[in-house]
């Protein structure tokens, strides 16, 4: 297997010194720079850069720059996704975000896991584990989602939370590490 195939398979791969991986990451960085330098009033140009970065334009997608990702094509966004300013999607392992999700400013979705032993880290090795988010989720500001995490539909992740484990559907999660605070009754009346 080559390093890209290892990355996509969730195996240890050379993330730092492999020329193909480096070239893919430089392409992502270049397109993010281009996107972030585009006038947000020029929606047509913004969508053209988003299409070049992701390979498609998500339906009814809204993005507040600046935005950063590693590659781009490993990101799958549903309909009506909103991503606020200064978000980072480290998408080596793939990031899937469902419909009607709102992501607050300064959130990070990190698929890279690194070896504990420095001799392997110094070789540039890492694993890329996918992150999956269901529909109708809301992430407060400064949320960090760690490698391999699945977040169910209908969840609210409180500002500043660090999500290290899977979160079931309809959960309010908060803290470091994030824990389920309560289940959300989606049919309850609007709270005051």
Active site residues: 114
Q: Residue 81 burial by CB count (10 A; 0-12/13-18/19+): exposed, middle or buried?
A: buried
Cα-based distances in Å from 97 to 51, 75, 82, 125, 164: 17, 8, 10, 26, 17
Q: What angle do CA 22, 70, 8 make, to 5 degrees?
A: 75
Chain centroid offset of residue 191 CA: 30
Tell me: cis bond preceding 97? Omega within 30 of 0 counts: no
- Distance CA(73)–CA(94), nearest Å, equals 8
């Amino acid at each position: 297997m080559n390093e890209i195939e290892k990355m996509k398979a969730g195996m240890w791969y050379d993330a730092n010194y492999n020329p193909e991986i480096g070239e893919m990451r430089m392409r992502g960085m270049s397109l993010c720079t281009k996107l972030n330098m585009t006038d947000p009033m020029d929606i047509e140009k913004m969508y053209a850069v988003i299409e070049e970065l992701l390979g498609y334009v998500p339906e009814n997608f809204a993005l507040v720059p600046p935005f950063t990702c590693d590659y781009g094509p490993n990101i799958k966004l549903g309909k009506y996704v909103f991503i606020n300013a200064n978000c980072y999607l480290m998408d080596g392992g793939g990031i899937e975000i469902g419909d009607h999700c709102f992501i607050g400013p300064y959130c990070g979705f990190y698929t890279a896991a690194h070896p504990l032993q420095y001799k392997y880290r110094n070789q540039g090795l890492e694993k890329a584990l996918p992150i999956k988010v269901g529909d109708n989720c809301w992430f407060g500001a400064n949320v960090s989602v760690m490698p391999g995490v699945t977040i169910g539909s209908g969840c609210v992740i409180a500002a500043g939370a660090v999500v290290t484990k899977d979160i079931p559907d309809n959960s309010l999660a908060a803290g470091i590490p994030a824990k389920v605070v309560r289940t959300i009754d989606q049919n309850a009346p609007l709270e005051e």
